[in-house]
Structure 1
Amino acid sequence: MNLFADFENRIKNALETLDLVKEKRSELAFDRIVVEPPRDASHGDAATNAAMVLAKPLGTNPRALAELLGNALKQDADIAEVSVAGPGFLNIRLSTAYWQRLLASMIEDGTRFGQTGLGNGRKVNVEYVSANPTGPMHVGHCRGAVVGDALANLLGFAGFNVTKEYYINDAGSQIDVLARSVFIRYREALGEKVGEIPAGLYPGDYLKPVGEALAQEFGTRLHTMPEEEWMAIVKDRAINAMMAMIKDDLEALNVKHDVFFSERQLHANGGAPIRTAINDLTFKGHVYRGTLPPPKGQLPEDWEDREQTLFRSTEVGDDIDRPLIKSDGSYTYFAADVAYFKDKFDRGFEQMIYVLGADHGGYVKRLEAVARGVSEGKSKLTVLLCQLVKLFRDGEPVKMSKRSGDFVTLREVVEEVGRDSVRFMMLYRKNSEPLDFDFAKVTEQSKDNPVFYVQYAHARCMSIFRQAREAFGDLDLSPSVLASAVDGITDPAEVQLIAKLAEYPRIIDSAAQSLEPHRVAFYLYDLASSFHAHWNKGKDQPELRFVNDKNRQSSLARLGLVHAVASVLKSGLAITGTDAPEEMR
């Protein structure tokens, strides 16, 4: 249950009872009413702007309206106190009985607590990573992989029907470069002295096993074939080898995709899917023959000073119209983007999310224009850009360069600091902001290391249950028993911890709506901090300890609170893609 949504409905119902509101109900925008935690917890448990947003259309003073609304809310048995603050905000303090019932529902729900059904089964496609299949994953791909995967987990938890997708860029010029690079390694495997890898090709040693595999499969036969023949064979083998490597790297990071979509599918049968997509845009009036003025700065590869087939993308939000078919009849890269979006749209997705690197900022408007043109506003496309990750080791920068073959791979980072540390820290800053990643700091066992601090909170919960079983050998710790004992929770510090737990559904909904999975990571740290602080109070105040071997009923009540904390931590960690350990050494 979402406490804040619950009281938003109660406040609206209370407003409906006011004569002042009844007279002008049709003129009032109830959707502007917000209920949220007050900035200062000492002011209450919930705060609303209802009087502030409705006073003007009602022709009254916000404080006067707040007083009227407050008097109506005082009739609610779950509200212990209502006070007017500032120019007309209402602060609400809830009854202990309400918190106890809410805790009982948290215990019964377990890791399902927080699922509000926001998505209502709507189909969403999240495309992320989509690295060119030209080498192993490096740390530059890592952030987008984690953000995309966690976002998909978050949307799934929030009730959306999510498909995780990887777009394999296996039809561009970089694949020709890959094939030529592999062919050199093939010649090397046959015993030929190849010398230094020519500039413009991929020099990394990761291609040597691919060349060796070709030598074992074909012997010297590839060497005697015309380039057109060996190129096709080497492309297939190289792409398959690179994708197997990439999938292994992603598996090490606990990143999984439901669909791997090959760009070559769009070029099959003479590019039939692309032709179909262009015909569809033509039918909708978005395509014409014309010329484009030269763009400012460096000319893109697909620009021509000739008449071409163009997408009238300026009419759907783009800066310039985009070429689809060149003057020689070949399709542009952009045309494949159009066909790919149409394929997703035809698969029934109501929202498409692209998680891209910061260097793709120039693609945002054109992709949004494609969505408007193809779907005619029926599908929403959102691009999330992930800023760069800067690697440090004890404060010293770590340099990398994929082209030179001298780069830090994703797998190296995971093997050094652990999957969970990588994933959680990649989410511990908003994706649109640069991220500094220091190998030393992410392995510290301290409060300054967020992933350790959160996982330690869950492990501490599990240790409390082990302690309870030692103290009470026959203790029934089933959710139904724990939920029935919550009336023993009365201490203000315990209620404050329930209030922090109660924020979780609101965090889930707001994070899903804003497409910001980092909010979950931040919340988990705050919850862990609240739990550790409450645990520490038990050192000085024995009556607050979770397990009191002289008071079985009190222990049951507090174990219910621990159960709720552990469930939310486990749920949130699952969204981030990290483990919830039962013990830490």
Structure 2
Amino acid sequence: MMAPTPADHDDIFAALRARAVSALAELLPDLPAEAFARVQMEPPRDPAHGDMATNAAMVVAKAARQPPPKLAAALAERLSALPEVAEAAPAGPGFVNLRLREGFLRDQLPVILRAGESYGDGTTGQGRRVDVEYVSANPTGPMHVGHCRGAVVGDALANLLTKANYAVTKEYYVNDAGAQVQALAQAAYWRYLQALGTAMTEEDFAATVPGGLQYGGDYLAPVGEALKERHGDALAASGARPADPSLWLDPVRDFTVDAMMAAIRDDLAALGVRHDVFVSERALIAEGKLEQAEALLASKGLIYHGILEPPKGKTPEDWEPREQELFRATQFGDEVDRPLRKSDGTGTYFANDIANHLHKLERGFSELVHVWGADHGGYVKRMKAAVSALSDGKVPLDVVLTQIVRVVKNGEPVRMSKRAGTYVALRDLIDEVGRDAVRFTMLTRKADAQMEFDLDKVVEQSRDNPVFYVQYAHARCRSVLRAAGDPSAADLAETPLDALADPAELALIRRLTAWPRTVEAAAEAREPHRIAFFLHDLAADFHVLWNKGREDATLRFIQGDEPEATRGRLALVAATAAVVRSGLAVMGVTPVEEMR
């Protein structure tokens, strides 16, 4: 088995993994190739143990019928002979720790410089088509901070998967069917009557519609005015009183949804989020997608008519047993089978979602990814069951859950929106601190961890503010390169690098070479927050080197009497700037050239 040399691959972890697999294959020629599938090459948990560690001996020991420590010792001996390895030593129950040669590490800088921001572009996705659905807020009002985290996580995850060589479609599913949208139309109609100068009170109108007025925000006043401009008084009865709903409900609903979606698109654009596809729930229902999904599931024997057990917490007196059309969700890991039709014959929320996923599968996606709020956690199993049933288990559905965000100022919760009243509007948050600060901050915690968005901290110029800390590293890089006349990356890639020997310089190079592996691991785990963590660590390594140069003149980046050493250090600075830009691009954040 021939392994690629590290020069064949930007990802030195992937290259050394291939070296380890090749060495094992030579030691164990009778093992099939699949025996090495779980071999990994990772950064060790403790940097004191070396630059890399592999589990190779442990994962093949059983198939090889050899003790892992013995196999690790034999593997370490082979890896020690590689020209890029300074030391390989067995450790623990069967790991092998590697320490790389300094010259080999320095040789990675030209690789980074030639690749530029494309450094770290991976092969994990192998061009597979993946649909990433995120935000998908009901079009019933302005975007707020509750939507913001899912929007940023979903957008960064889509960017991350693209960098890992997936063919990504960014999708927004418009929930424009059902009772909530009808309630929105009723509220917009009330604003229309107000624009006409109705003498009715809000209470009088609310008594005329089922469920009363559920949406009363001022954001609907412009919609009412626009309806008046378009229809005049044609949708109202005499005296600007409500007409029969059959005369106004459909046009008002369609107009209002369009207006809300236009506002949502504008808010998302301000956040730097642009979807490729918007899919309408109502349109899917109208074209018979629900019936198609039912027919497909029925053909697989997965639909039956039956009576469900009472829900947990319900007493028999509260429960009215009713025969329903049920999907056999329990065959795919769900707790109970799920109803597909309401008592009025329309599709359940779940059934309409099945139709949505059939639509995705018909478009040929190999994988589906959703970003949902944590309050939808109980919905995950049934949706995975449906996708598994529809695709015969061939198309996986991954769901990333995002926890709530608490916005604070001076340690106190804040409400910044007069228009929204009870929540923080997304546009107000962007206006307060800027798009880039919002995006970066939303990725500084794992998606399923609750977070506090501190308006004071996010604009603070200190190392405690990760947004500032990373941007400051890039600005410092750019200031050094400008002072040196902005040498081209191509020229710097040809410069000698022997002067880069200080531990802080080598630590920075080590961090840079971990970028491709970080992209791969974050993409596989569907965890874009790892990019923010990596950039923070990279910035810390750069700032350490910068500060050492202030204390030790021999480590300053630009030294007039040592042009070769200067060019070597400029190569390191330029490579650092390129990787920071590569990471910020995944996060959807614009790098700054200078900071005042």
1:508 partner letter: V
Equivalences, count: 571
**Residue 467 of structure 1: aligned partner:** 483
Q: In structure 2, what is the Cα distance between the partners aligned to 1:459 and 1:450?
A: 14
2:268 partner letter: L
Indicate whether 1:484 and 2:502 are aligned: no
**Residue 374 of structure 1: aligned partner:** 390
Structure 2 counterparts to residues 518-533 of structure 1, below 5 A: 518-533=529-544
Distance 1:27 1:337, change over 3 A: closer
Identity of aligned residues (%): 51
Cα displacement string for residues 203-228 of structure 1 (whole angstroms, at most 9, x for unaligned residues):
11111111111122222221124321
The partner residue of 2:230 within 217, 235, 259 is 217
Indicate whether 1:415 and 2:431 are aligned: yes
Tell me the CA shift for residue 304 of structure 1: 6.7
Q: In structure 1, what is the Cα distance between the partners aligned to 2:169 and 2:413?
A: 36
Distance 1:32 1:228, change over 3 A: same
The SS at the match of 1:178 is: helix
Is the contact between residue 416 and residue 428 of structure 2 (CA under 8 Å) also seen in structure 1? no
2:232 partner letter: G
Q: In structure 2, what is the Cα distance between the partners aligned to 1:402 and 1:261?
A: 31
**Residue 250 of structure 1: aligned partner:** 268
Cα displacement string for residues 105-149 of structure 1 (whole angstroms, at most 9, x for unaligned residues):
111111111112110110100111111111100111111111101
**Residue 179 of structure 2: aligned partner:** 173
The SS at the match of 2:484 is: helix
Larger deviation, residues 61-70 vs 568-577: 61-70
Q: Where does structure 2 lack aligned partners over 5 or more consecutive residues?
A: 1-9, 207-211, 238-242
* TM-score, reference length from structure 2: 0.91
**Residue 7 of structure 1: aligned partner:** 16
The partner residue of 1:392 within 408, 411, 415 is 408
The SS at the match of 2:527 is: coil
The SS at the match of 1:165 is: strand
**Residue 451 of structure 2: aligned partner:** 435
Tell me the CA shift for residue 535 of structure 1: 0.9
The SS at the match of 2:131 is: strand
Distance 1:156 1:402, change over 3 A: farther
**Residue 580 of structure 1: aligned partner:** 591
The SS at the match of 1:92 is: strand
2:216 partner letter: P
Is the contact between residue 187 and residue 213 of structure 2 (CA under 8 Å) also seen in structure 1? no
Q: Where does structure 1 lack aligned partners over 5 or more consecutive residues?
A: 470-474
Structure 2 counterparts to residues 32-431 of structure 1, below 5 A: 32-55=38-61, 57-193=63-199, 195-196=201-202, 198=206, 200-224=213-237, 225-269=243-287, 272-297=288-313, 305-326=321-342, 328-398=344-414, 405-431=421-447
Is the contact between residue 286 and residue 312 of structure 1 (CA under 8 Å) also seen in structure 2? yes
Larger deviation, residues 407-416 vs 34-43: 34-43
The SS at the match of 2:453 is: strand
Tell me the CA shift for residue 333 of structure 1: 2.2
Q: In structure 2, what is the Cα distance between the partners aligned to 1:266 and 1:260?
A: 12
Tell me the CA shift for residue 42 of structure 1: 2.9
**Residue 472 of structure 1: aligned partner:** none
**Which stretches of structure 1, 4 residues or more, deviate above 6 A after TM superposition?**
400-404
1:555 partner letter: T
Tell me the CA shift for residue 52 of structure 1: 3.5
Tell me the CA shift for residue 282 of structure 1: 0.9
Is the contact between residue 443 and residue 449 of structure 1 (CA under 8 Å) also seen in structure 2? yes
Distance 1:403 1:277, change over 3 A: farther
Is the contact between residue 203 and residue 405 of structure 1 (CA under 8 Å) also seen in structure 2? no
The SS at the match of 1:254 is: coil
Tell me the CA shift for residue 243 of structure 1: 0.7
Q: In structure 1, what is the Cα distance between the partners aligned to 2:423 and 2:344?
A: 39
1:482 partner letter: L
2:219 partner letter: Y
Distance 1:402 1:342, change over 3 A: farther
Is the contact between residue 27 and residue 57 of structure 1 (CA under 8 Å) also seen in structure 2? no
Q: In structure 1, what is the Cα distance between the partners aligned to 2:418 and 2:164?
A: 37
Tell me the CA shift for residue 11 of structure 1: 1.4
Distance 1:415 1:355, change over 3 A: same
Cα displacement string for residues 232-264 of structure 1 (whole angstroms, at most 9, x for unaligned residues):
111111111111111111111111100111111
Tell me the CA shift for residue 451 of structure 1: 0.8
**Residue 569 of structure 1: aligned partner:** 580
Distance 1:285 1:61, change over 3 A: closer
**Residue 4 of structure 2: aligned partner:** none
Tell me the CA shift for residue 327 of structure 1: 5.1
Q: In structure 2, what is the Cα distance between the partners aligned to 1:95 and 1:437?
A: 43
Cα displacement string for residues 173-218 of structure 1 (whole angstroms, at most 9, x for unaligned residues):
0111111111111111122355456564211111111111112222
Is the contact between residue 130 and residue 166 of structure 1 (CA under 8 Å) also seen in structure 2? yes
The SS at the match of 1:325 is: coil
Distance 1:468 1:400, change over 3 A: closer
Tell me the CA shift for residue 401 of structure 1: 11
